[in-house]
Structure 1
Amino acid sequence: MAISRVITWDVIESKGYETAWAELSDGSLRARGRAVGVVPEPYWISYELQAGEDFVTRRLSVTAETGTGTRTLDLRHDGHGRWTTDGEPLPGVDGALDCDLGLCPLTNTMPVLRHGLHQTPGEREFLMAWVSVPDLAVQPSQQTYTHLGPTERGTRVRYSSGTFRSDLEFDGDGFVLDYPSLATRRR
Structure 2
Amino acid sequence: MIKDWRTTIACAIVLLFGITLFLFGTNGFSAFTAETARVNKLVQDKPKFPNVTLEDSKGRDYAISEFKGKYVFITFLYTFCTTVCPQLEMNMSKVYSALQPKYLGIDIVFLSISFDPARDDPGTLEKYRSYFHSDGETWRMARIPNKAELDSLLKAFGVIVIPDGYGNFTHNSAFYLVDPKGTLVDVMDYKKTDKAAKKVAAILKREAGE
- Asked whether the two chains share a fold, i.e. TM above 0.5, the reply is no
Q: Which has the larger radius of gyration?
A: 2
TM-score (norm 2): 0.27
Structure number with the higher helix fraction is 2
Instruction: From the two aligned structures, give the one with the greater strand fraction.
Output: 1
